[in-house]
Structure 1
Amino acid sequence: MKNIIITSLFFMSVSLVANAQTPIYQDRSKPIEQRVEDALSRMTLNEKIAVIHAQSKFSSPGVKRLGFPDFWTDDGPHGVRPDVLWDEWEQAGQTNDSCVAFPALTCLSATWNPQMSNLYGKSLGEEALYRGKNMILGPGVNIYRTPLSGRNFEYLGEDPYLSGKMVVPYIQGLQSCGVAACVKHYAMNNDEEYRHQVNVVVSDRALHEIYLPAFRAAVIDGKAWGVMGAYNMYKNQHNCHNEELLMKILKGDWNFDGVVVSDWGGCHDTDQAVKNGLDMEFGTWTNGLSLGKTNAYDSYYMASPYLEAIQKGKYTTKELDDKVRRVLRLFFRTTMNSNKPMGFLCSESHYSAARKVADEGIVLLQNKNNVLPIKFNRTKHVLVVGENAIKMMTVGGGSSSLKVQREISPLDGLKSRLGSNVKVDYERGYVGDTTGSYNGVTTGQNLTDKRSADQLIHDAVEKAKKADYVIFFGGLNKSDYQDCEGHDRKSYDLPYNQDRVIESLSKANKNFIYVNISGNAVAMPWHNKVPAIVQGWFIGSEAGEALADVLTGDVNPSGKLPFTWPATLQDVGAHKLNAYPGVWRPDHKVIDEEYKEGLYVGYRWVDKEKIHPLFAFGHGLSYTTFKLSDLRESSNKISRDGNITFTVNVKNTGKYDGSETVQLYIHDVKSSLDRPYKELKGFKKVELKAGENRDVDITIDNSALSFYDDRAHAWTSEDGDFEALVGNASDNLPLMIKFKLQ
């Protein structure tokens, strides 16, 4: 017994001595800021320089002497990108870096459901954890300014309020796993063509009211741990080291305490990087996709050139220490976070999450004569047409390209759902992009077809005449100059002469359904001849299952468009005013792109010009019907420090269970500055059984009534009359109630 007591006392004393000697930065009971300062005080100058720039294509070094592991980033916003070699863009050749592909963010935004956004972020975070990734380079929240932008599919639509409300739960879900979000691309990366040369010229009001609010929500409400600078310029400074965007707004006005990460190859100058807010430099000497300089890391702008400038006395360590504090804070939130959960990859729960998001995001744009859902009691033969019915869409598109464990095609999804009692036939209809590889990942598909365009159409039409339904899967793909990073679309029209195929099929069969696979709007000159139109997005691994869910009625569609769908490009402000793609300066090194439309993007422009779009922002049909009625408010007045609640009754008046999204827009009756006629300031999705009704509450505060006063350089609101407009789309707002700000 005596020996046991002595032994116990010995180990207690050793433990006490060990605890007394434990550095503060290793003491998990201490606040993060105290641990940051302690670690900073122990770092050498070389160690400080090392942690602020990359050591490989996707990693930066930790501080091995102090026990900080390396920090690993990865694309992308829709799934964890496959690994590349340490110092090359080529595939690493691993067999455990497949993933679940989640729907592209346009589809997520189309759910109008923040709960789906949180599920999405958490599922992605779990996959990233398993793959050993500490930061996911996403989500993207740039504004849909033109339907030609090649990267719109990665973003959340045209409206800053909707984008902000959808990005916050994504970030919270992702970071709950101990994986940092890196919100991108800050800011005004609204088109891809000449993205390294574009200098955006925009009014202060448009900047703060349209292009920054989603980033602001990500930082202030979402508490994002990372922000990625954009390739383009603002006020003639590249955005990865832009004084106004990074120092004044992000780190000043918004008190951002995370890291600013350069886009890959987005850093251009040591002095600006040091002084203007860049914290972690990645991808210098590359174009972010294919070109690269081997072993360039010591030559990075914030590597040896910065170190030598400090040693020569050009800079003190003031700016460096601020950068390192932010990086250390990021380490404690991620690599040094002992409370993060276990990750897992390609689980059924992740496939289920991907399918749920897709089911809710698919938009029923048109449904004449209730052609949809497919009527099983009189369906024996379905003809599927179109390359997009079989082409894998997870490979390609730029940095968000993935290597998936599985991707179910629309054709296979329909075959599985319709079963053996229904004959499902297939015809190509057109030949588009027959390649199937990107950055070393190959689909393994052979999509070659040697038939002529006339023969392809003839063969499809002959079968269409005999089918009960014809379903055409067309649209865009992720090839260059379509929905793809690096270039914008060259035309608003459908590629590969699809219009001719659609016109022919619509004449051959009255039960013709067009499913558009894309992240962008497209021209539909034939829309009046087609009974049903569905927006199918790029929806990842479960594409075929989700599309079959909606087409067969297993899922009642509830998606709403997150952008305005114009009939022609001339219905878009940036194109009507010749404000895209900008004007080259005489030296041909910079292109000035003036946002002449100002605040009037999307439905704001539609209201101003009194245009009838093909499909309005917020539009989306259902297989059931809903009635909104009895709009009322909690008070007819609101104070600047108060709020007001609007209540509306929603009734499912149809035969199917379904979900409706109540949308609240605010109209300022009289303002000292020009304002859009209405702006989205609240929404709520409600699920109702057939015949059920429920009250829906939407609460707003003074921020919903405010505008950015460029004279005072501040957000402000003015006393006076306002109107709350309520409905289920920006062009269908039958309910109105007046109230005052006083």
Structure 2
Amino acid sequence: MKYRKLIEKMTLEEKASLMSGKDFWQSMDIQRLGINSMFLSDGPHGIRKQAAAADHLGLNPSIPSTCFPTAATIANSWNQGLGEKLGEFLGEEAVSLKVNVLLGPGINMKRNPLCGRNFEYFSEDPYLAGKMAANYIKGIQSKGISACVKHFAVNNQEERRMAIDTIVDERTLREIYLTAFEMAIKEGGTKAVMSSYNMLNGTYANENLHLMQDILRDEWGYKGVVVTDWGGSNDRVAGLLAGNELEMPTTGGETNIDIENSIRSGEIKEEVLDECVDRILDLIFTTEDVFKQSSEDFNLDKNHRMAQLAAEESIVLLKNEKNILPLKPGTKVGVIGDFAKNPRYQGAGSSVVNPTKLDKTFECLDESGIVSLGYAPGFKRYGKKSSKLIREACELAQKAEVVLLYLGLDEATEAEGLDRQNMKLPQNQIDLLEEVSKVNSNIIAVLSCGSVVEMPWIYKVKGLLHGYLGGQAGARAMLRIISGDVNPSGKLAETYPISYEDTPSFNNFPGKEVTVEYREGIYIGYRYYDTADIEVLFPFGYGLNYTTFEYSDIEVNREGVTFKIKNIGKFAGKEVAQLYIGCTSKNIFRPAKELKGFIKVFINAGETKKVTIPFDDKTFRYFNVKTNKWEVEEADYEIMVGASSRDIKLTDVIFIEGTGASLPYDKYKLPSYFSGEVKNVSEDEFEALIEKKLPEAKWDRSKPLGYNDTVAQCQYAKGAVARFAFKLISFAYWFLRKIGKRKTANIIMMSIYHMPFRGIARMTGGVINMPMVDGILMMANGHFFKGLNHFLKERRKMLKNNKIKSASKVEKISTEAAKER
């Protein structure tokens, strides 16, 4: 151990205290030994350092910092260097704000387009997500602090996220949901990992020995710290045994006692605790060194320009009929849409950043060379219909040469804690587009949202630009694309299906009660659409440019693939070349193609560049469930280079020797997986894949409510008070949405409705402890007076113990002070 001598000076109580938070955002300190607190801050796309210690929900504004584009946006840049540079800026700001651990990036897979937190995640593809995350981490940690990659693992829905049991087969787990984490650890070198709320195959993620020990520690060699998601600890002792060092936030010392008692009883060896303490100390000491140097405030203007550059490179041009874009200088436009005046530039929930400044379309129009004839809001932001606003918008559209129509999803639709209800734009925006198109056919739609939407209206627009969530400088960046000052180079990091019903997880998302079943297996995103030959609106990797690129001269050898790209258009531009691999053998089911490399290249008009994409250890591998390790199948592999997953420009074939492993599957038991048509996999076939019986997916309504049951389940409670409370909460949610207070309604859903009973103790910082939760459960289960009496008795006991502790602490300080005198 690195800090053995220091650990030997600690009492058992001091060691245990380091395993949980001091408050909502800080780790515990031990001043007598020179051990300081760490500050952990939300921050996938900016630093959200809350001034108020207990403000996890972001009810109060955080300290101002640069709001960079979200991960879903930056993924569309396909630029690893940009990711690292952005990480450096994030790290620099974190240092200036005295943040030790930046809680990001988030790299969960976009299994389903409706996951409410997709705006925080990179891609549906683990290779792209892993490469981008590794570079973010390198950039952040180059400034001396720690990144914290999250949420480990298979956290792909927000509904019931603190209690849902994810059922997934081992191969899918490894190839799809863990590969990006593996890259973040091995290539990025992250110092911290955040465990996810959910269960994985029956065990909570932070207690799952297979996930936390077999894979993370033993296979990947991870030496850093594992932090729980806030309130994400179920059984503290089981979590510690799995190697989960830091529980956040504070529990007021309650779980420290659990750890102390487990060591005194012999359930845990003290050496296990010592190792956890050693890793915590290493994180504290290696991240606080940078604060000892004089750190200046970050440069607001410089960082704002970086946010603009990042947004410019991530905007995706999806449609450009008759080359309506870029607009010529002097073009007279009508600007329509609420998002033009009040930009939608980030997601909602724990990642909300208080920007240092905020560009707005109207304030940036003059410098673009475009002539504005005026602005009309066109629609109400949160979906209410208004004929008057549509009429005013049409009057403006009639006068304009071109309409810039700003559409998208509002902040209450894409948010942490709940999933989207559908994949559509609000109907009032579609109605607006319909009416405007009747008076002006030259419409350029500008989309602002963090995830996939259906576009049955796309034929009504000539131009379509998707800015995703472009951060505080996104509005100016978008105008620079529209005016032609910047050539768009973004490409989609996720597939756009024609309708939600086309998605492979349509029948199995979200898990509503006990479990969510990943019956589609390895076939998520383009892996499904391209294998099952499903028509899509926009394929993975798609994006237009103001110029044209020509591919030629492919050469393949053992090290990689080399080819040429020529810019045959009139504009200089950047092209994203993508390497896909397809195994020609049919002995093991595999997607038709998988991304195994990519590169972004700047090429001047008329110029040709020779490009190489190397193979690596992930190019030909698959996970064999029989040998329980990565293997290579001996076969011919098709090497495909393309501008998207469905625009393959060059192909070749290479023979690869295999590792000789036995075949893992009986293809007759798994016909859906061998065909790739996995949208309707039967229970029997899925059980054949996971090689065990499926657990019960529905709540057992006959059982009393327990710690891991949610407030939502009070609708079935034996106690009338609990059922009444459920109805009251449900009514409050409905009423707040009805009167337009959707953000407040979302907080109820996120922080109350789907909260397990244990979360009441875990998220209240010691105000309510687990014995008091026992009293609440008694009341919910039909023993109201007994439960109330128990609750009040335990509360009095807790307050008395707290008073004794406080007195003891004061006495200890006084004694130490006297010794010093």
Q: Does 1:166 pair with 2:81?
A: no
Distance in 1 between residues matched to 2:56 and 2:523, nearest whole Å: 40
Map 1:355-504; keep pairs closer than 5 Å.
355-377=308-330, 379=331, 381-393=332-344, 397-418=348-369, 422-433=371-382, 453-479=386-412, 482-504=413-435
Q: Does 1:75 pair with 2:42?
A: yes
Q: Does 1:573 pair with 2:522?
A: no
* Residue identity in the other structure for 1:236: G
Flag the 1:48–1:337 CA change in 2: closer, same or farther, 3 A.
Answer: farther
Distance in 1 between residues matched to 2:293 and 2:211, nearest whole Å: 32
Distance in 2 between residues matched to 1:626 and 1:245, nearest whole Å: 44
User: Can you give the 5+ residue segments of structure 1 that lack an aligned partner in the other structure?
Assistant: 1-32, 285-295, 435-450, 585-590, 639-643
1:484 CA displacement:
0.7
Partner of 1:315: 268
Partner of 2:641: 726
Partner of 1:530: 461
Flag the 1:712–1:236 CA change in 2: closer, same or farther, 3 A.
Answer: same
Under a length normalisation based on structure 2, what TM-score does the superposition of the two structures give? Answer: 0.77
Map 1:262-273; keep pairs closer than 5 Å.
262-273=228-239
1:64 CA displacement:
1.5
Flag the 1:396–1:612 CA change in 2: closer, same or farther, 3 A.
Answer: closer
Match of residue 615, structure 2, among 697, 700, 710: 700
Larger helix share, 1 or 2: 2
1:452 CA displacement:
5.8
Distance in 1 between residues matched to 2:532 and 2:266, nearest whole Å: 58
Flag the 1:572–1:93 CA change in 2: closer, same or farther, 3 A.
Answer: closer
1:579 CA displacement:
1.2
Match of residue 200, structure 2, among 234, 237, 258: 234
Distance in 1 between residues matched to 2:606 and 2:171, nearest whole Å: 45
Distance in 2 between residues matched to 1:669 and 1:423, nearest whole Å: 55
Cα deviation digits, residues 681-709 of structure 1 (max 9, x gap): 11111101111111111110353011011
1:43 CA displacement:
2.2
Is the contact between residue 96 and residue 295 of structure 2 (CA under 8 Å) also seen in structure 1? Answer: yes
1:270 CA displacement:
2.4
The DSSP-based 3-state class of the residue aligned with 2:95 is: helix
Q: Does 1:667 pair with 2:576?
A: no
Is the contact between residue 241 and residue 268 of structure 2 (CA under 8 Å) also seen in structure 1? Answer: no
Q: Does 1:656 pair with 2:607?
A: no
1:98 CA displacement:
0.6
Distance in 2 between residues matched to 1:92 and 1:161, nearest whole Å: 36
* Residue identity in the other structure for 2:252: Y
1:562 CA displacement:
0.3
Partner of 2:249: 283
Under a length normalisation based on structure 1, what TM-score does the superposition of the two structures give? Answer: 0.86
The DSSP-based 3-state class of the residue aligned with 1:272 is: helix
Distance in 1 between residues matched to 2:377 and 2:321, nearest whole Å: 25
1:193 CA displacement:
1.3
1:727 CA displacement:
1.2
Map 1:337-352; keep pairs closer than 5 Å.
342=295, 344-352=297-305
* Residue identity in the other structure for 1:98: P
What is the Cα-based RMSD across aligned positions, in Å?
A: 2.0
Q: Does 1:57 pair with 2:6?
A: no
Flag the 1:343–1:562 CA change in 2: closer, same or farther, 3 A.
Answer: farther
Distance in 2 between residues matched to 1:497 and 1:603, nearest whole Å: 31
1:189 CA displacement:
1.1
* Residue identity in the other structure for 2:336: V
1:267 CA displacement:
0.5
The DSSP-based 3-state class of the residue aligned with 1:733 is: strand
Distance in 1 between residues matched to 2:279 and 2:153, nearest whole Å: 20
Distance in 2 between residues matched to 1:68 and 1:452, nearest whole Å: 58
* Residue identity in the other structure for 1:465: Q
Is the contact between residue 596 and residue 618 of structure 2 (CA under 8 Å) also seen in structure 1? Answer: no
Flag the 1:411–1:198 CA change in 2: closer, same or farther, 3 A.
Answer: farther
Cα deviation digits, residues 1-43 of structure 1 (max 9, x gap): xxxxxxxxxxxxxxxxxxxxxxxxxxxxxxxx64x22322222
Partner of 1:447: none
Is the contact between residue 517 and residue 537 of structure 1 (CA under 8 Å) also seen in structure 2? Answer: yes
Partner of 2:682: none
Flag the 1:714–1:341 CA change in 2: closer, same or farther, 3 A.
Answer: farther
The DSSP-based 3-state class of the residue aligned with 1:541 is: coil
The DSSP-based 3-state class of the residue aligned with 1:400 is: coil
The DSSP-based 3-state class of the residue aligned with 1:305 is: helix
Is the contact between residue 105 and residue 148 of structure 2 (CA under 8 Å) also seen in structure 1? Answer: yes
Partner of 1:128: 94
1:669 CA displacement:
0.8
Flag the 1:198–1:343 CA change in 2: closer, same or farther, 3 A.
Answer: farther
Is the contact between residue 648 and residue 695 of structure 1 (CA under 8 Å) also seen in structure 2? Answer: yes
User: Can you give the 5+ residue segments of structure 2 that lack an aligned partner in the other structure?
Assistant: 658-821
The DSSP-based 3-state class of the residue aligned with 2:472 is: helix
The DSSP-based 3-state class of the residue aligned with 2:159 is: coil
Is the contact between residue 213 and residue 243 of structure 2 (CA under 8 Å) also seen in structure 1? Answer: yes
Partner of 1:25: none
Match of residue 185, structure 1, among 151, 172, 192: 151
Partner of 1:627: 550
Partner of 1:16: none
Is the contact between residue 726 and residue 734 of structure 1 (CA under 8 Å) also seen in structure 2? Answer: yes
Is the contact between residue 409 and residue 448 of structure 2 (CA under 8 Å) also seen in structure 1? Answer: yes
The DSSP-based 3-state class of the residue aligned with 1:171 is: helix
Partner of 1:607: 530
Is the contact between residue 492 and residue 543 of structure 2 (CA under 8 Å) also seen in structure 1? Answer: yes
Identity of paired residues, percent?
A: 37
Q: Does 1:298 pair with 2:231?
A: no
Distance in 1 between residues matched to 2:296 and 2:70, nearest whole Å: 22
* Residue identity in the other structure for 1:423: S
